[in-house]
Chain A
Amino acid sequence: MNVNLLVGTVKGGFLFRSDAKRGRWSLEGPLFKGWKVTASGRDLGGGYFVATASEVYGVAVQRSRDLREWRQVEKGPRWTEESGFKMNQIWTFARTTDRLYAGVDEAGLFESGDGGESWTLVEGLSGHSTRKVWFPGFGGLCAHVVLSDPKDPKRLWCGISAVGVFRSEDGGKSWAPKNRGVTQVIEDKAEKEIGFCVHGLVQDPNDADTIWRQDHRGMYRTRDGGDGWEKIENGLPSGFGFPIALAAKTRSLFCVPLESDEYRMPVEGKMRVFRSRDGGGSWQPLSKGLPQEHAYMGVLRGSMAVDDLDPCGVYFGTTSGTVFASADGGDSWAALPGTFPRILSVEAFVES
């Protein structure tokens, strides 16, 4: 059993490899030197995807069977000229039993039914009747998270920053905003169900209707697929933050609270991860091995990951270029070797 940790930065990707103990890591890279590595994921056949982006040369999808040899996909996600939208970045990859999805900026969703070789627009989302009042937040106008129901792959959720969460019951043909109970960030004069700034979503693997939401306005949970959300911040020093992660086996939740949207730094200059072992009912700080003085870095929404082992490994990368790892479910932490550019994405892949 091996664990691969793919760290995406603004100037390339870096690959950490370890055995199941996760105590010693080797480091390879930079991969895609000079490119932003904005997201990574697995395809349906066990291969890997990486999304690259450049302010100059645009966006691409790279594929690999072994994390060593990479090949660029020729028909990746791309807006048409008629759409009027620009492809700025791929934010996330997701997969159902038979399809792959890519969430992008400017906000839209693309799907692939051929294993990732060609991608087509999911028209129902970016063609939504409210699209004219979608506006970007600090992170852009990004569709950054996609969830699905393992029992019914036509049920999909998509989170769009500064817009909100949408749910589809028909494989993406139609979408409905699902944000009731969440506080808005920007209220539109007419479209009252838009203007919610979701930062991250994770889903119970055994109950697709239970979803946790790190939002601009706080930490929330739904038990009915998003029809209603409740705030769950018992023990958190701040409701504001970006990433949220869930350990599939232990059901532990992890988040990194930051001091308000004005400051976006660890509360009191202490780098702490918060863990919930009761489904978000309460949160406890985890700080052993993390800097507890003068820590003013951020952790972006794609920069936290959990592996599938038990105890789970938890990993996050900071805007100041450090990767922190825990091999004991968050009880203790250590910085991995290397000082990197601003970290945009972190994914953990377990290989048997």
Chain B
Amino acid sequence: MARVRVEIPSVLAQVVEGRRSVEVEGATLSEAIAALVRLHPALGIHLFDESGRFRQHVLCFHNRTSTRWMEHLDVPVADGDTITILQAVSGG
């Protein structure tokens, strides 16, 4: 079981008691994200749509790799890894 840090965008900080990062444990990326939502259930509303997948404009990175580039989230995580939640912004 690895201990990883999840970085939270400022607009969602209110959902996690004002914090910008949360530490969770898991063996895989999928487990770590599930642990995050167990810890802060309201966060699940904002990260996932009705289908249970990441919302269209929510980006999630494991270290420097976007989950959109992954076939699945069952990839191992290690102590000190970072999961970053970002708002996908484009256009002007």
Contact = CB atoms under 8 A, between A and B. Distances in A.
Interface in A19-43: 32-35
Given A70-B14, A78-B45, 19 more contacts: A33-B11, A34-B10, A35-B11, A54-B11, A57-B12, A57-B47, A57-B58, A57-B87, A60-B42, A60-B45, A72-B42, A72-B45, A74-B41, A76-B45, A81-B51, A81-B52, A83-B50, A85-B50, A87-B50
Interface residues of A, number: 24
The prevalent SS among residues of A at the interface is loop
Contact of A58 (B14, B45, B51): B45
B46 interface: yes
Contacts of B47: 57
B15 interface: yes
B79 interface: no
B87 A78 contact: no
Contacts of B12: 57
Nearest to B86: A56
A55 B12 CA distance: 13
B49 interface: yes
A72 B46 CA distance: 11
B55 A57 contact: yes
29 contacts: A35-B11, A54-B46, A55-B57, A56-B57, A56-B58, A56-B87, A56-B88, A57-B11, A57-B45, A57-B46, A57-B47, A57-B55, A57-B58, A57-B87, A58-B46, A58-B49, A60-B45, A60-B46, A70-B14, A72-B15, A72-B45, A73-B42, A74-B42, A74-B45, A76-B45, A81-B50, A83-B50, A85-B50, A86-B50
Interface of B: 10-12, 14-15, 41-42, 45-47, 49-52, 55, 57-58, 87-88
Interface string A76-94: 1011110101110000000
B70 to A, nearest CB: 21
Contacts of B49: 58, 86
Contacts of A87: 50
A33 B15 CA distance: 13
7 smallest A-B Cβ distances: which pairs? A57-B46, A56-B57, A34-B11, A72-B42, A74-B41, A81-B50, A81-B51
